[in-house]
Chain A
Amino acid sequence: MKMLTRLGYLLGLPALLVLVWYLLTVNSDSFFVVDPVTLARTFVDTWVGERFWADVAPSLVRLAVGLVLAISLGIGLGLLIGSSRALRSLTEPVLEFLRAIPPPVLVPILMVLVGINNQMKVLVIVSGAIWPVLLNTVEGVRAVDEVLLDTGRVYRINGWLRVTRLVLPAAAPQMMAGIRQALSIGLILMVISEMFASSSGLGFTIVQFQRSFAVPEMWSGVVVLGLIGVALAFLFQFVERRVLRWYHGLREVDHAG
């Protein structure tokens, strides 16, 4: 019974929405809308099979490479900058400016600088996704508890051990918040770099459908992008729960107390 109510809460509203969508569109002859059944059929026809490997997989690889680079660079530089007050003050205004540039405008710049190729698309993702990770890491490192740091110093916990055992875990909650923002920015940039300058990839394919007025196919592409976004969010949640298990536990104890 308990399972049933949970399932009801989980699927109730989505099912209702799909039903409304179906009833509204099944007899409509509007050009722009598709009913769910057609959409599902088009989705399978369009994306399952060859096109997945030709257009979706390369996009996903670029996204993954870009995100991994952005996250590791962001954490590395963030640790460096965050642990020195002078370096922090020196870089802060410049970093604030670079972060404030809306990342999509970097696409034309990188097109000019690097040319239109895979490196440019990966660089676009890195150049947009690195800032939230970098700035959150800096902030997290800065805010490490002074007492913890002093205790570590008294026990002569220095160098690598200090970074991995003390600074990184203490800054982890902030860092994860930054990584979460980086994921969604990375996905946006993956699509834009392909829409703006490409002859393959997911973004390009969807724009192609739109230009040739293949409306159901276009909608199915929108669904693919949505599914990738949702998958990334779930992946992130899974990893975050693992990495920050101690933190969420701590918070629960705090709230109960």
Chain B
Amino acid sequence: MSGSRRRGSRLAQLPSWVLGLAGIVLFLLVWEAVPRLGLADPEYLPPASDVLQVFARGLGLTSFWVAVGHTMTGWALGLAIASSAAVVLGLVIGSSPFLRRATHSTIEFLRPIPSVALIPLAVLLFGVSLKSTLLLVVYASFWQVLIQVLYGVTDVDVVASNTARSYGLGRLARVRYVVWPTTLPYLMTGLRLGAAVALILAVTSELVIGVPGLGHEIALAQSGGAVTAMYALVLATGLIGVAINMGVRFVERRVLAWHPSVRGEVHA
């Protein structure tokens, strides 16, 4: 008991990035060992080294980067459309108590509708094209951003708002100097959630509908029996996901550098 505790504390003294690296190595070792030891059929779960090799080879292929480009285009366009619409609507609805009350039930009803329900509609209307992806991505990420903007606008400090009013700030100036800074942290949270969801839906539309992109490549690899290539492509989508998360967090830190929640983190 005491031995394990001492070992635990010594482990805890290592810097966390060392432990994290060790975790990754451990994960890869287990992945390598399971098929090699025959615990899983290597035909269905190829060892990590094989997958990484195929992945590295893929990095040199134009077709891989074209697929990545397709996926990222759908993701970026969809997220941009959804978030600009959500910000404008959120500010308009949020700043009027009447609109807020009147739209509440409709928003709460439309929001939980899973965007994959729109897949058949997208196929009928747009077929195998970027528009299908956009329909799904926009619908899914729009609500994430809208809800956060609405929270943000409601969170505006009454005293600050009244002060601005008594200093004679007009409606637009109040939005710019009082509402917007309060809403920004919420908007960033919404963007972070929306960016992750947008990637999920972009890949889904490629996988299920067959819009060109990484998801479609995965479906092709799977139906063609190229199992190792399929794992390599899944690895690629995961890395894109990590990159998006890190990118959004970086932007969040930059944009909110003045905000106490971020400033506090730097000091601690």
Contact = CB atoms under 8 A, between A and B. Distances in A.
A14 B109 CA distance: 9
Interface stretch (A143-151, A188-196, A246-254): A188-196
Interface string A222-234: 1001101110110
Nearest to B241: A100
B208 interface: yes
Contact of B237 (A105, A188, A203, A222): A105
B11 interface: yes
Interface string B186-199: 00000000001001
A225 B113 contact: yes
Interface residues of A, number: 60
Given A209-B120, A229-B114, A102 B237 contact: yes
Contacts of B208: 104, 192, 195-196
Given A93-B23, A96-B242, A221-B120, A86 B112 contact: no
Nearest to B220: A108
- Considering residues B23, B112, B245, which has the most beta carbons from chain A within 10 angstroms of its beta carbon? B112
Contacts of B199: 102
Contacts of A92: 16, 20, 23
Interface stretch (A4-12, A21-29, A46-54): A4-12
Interface in A185-217: 185, 187-188, 191-192, 195-196, 203, 206-207, 209-210, 213, 215
A85 B14 CA distance: 11
Given A92-B16, A105-B218, A17 B113 contact: no
A221 B117 CA distance: 8
Contacts of B244: 100
A96 B245 contact: yes
B234 A86 contact: no
Interface string B233-247: 110011111101100
Given A203-B116, A222-B120, 10 more contacts: A14-B106, A96-B242, A101-B238, A108-B218, A109-B231, A112-B222, A192-B208, A196-B207, A207-B119, A219-B121
Interface of B: 8, 11-12, 14, 16-17, 19-24, 26-27, 40, 44-45, 101-106, 108-109, 111-121, 123-125, 196, 199-200, 202-204, 207-208, 214-215, 218-219, 221-222, 227, 230-231, 233-234, 237-242, 244-245
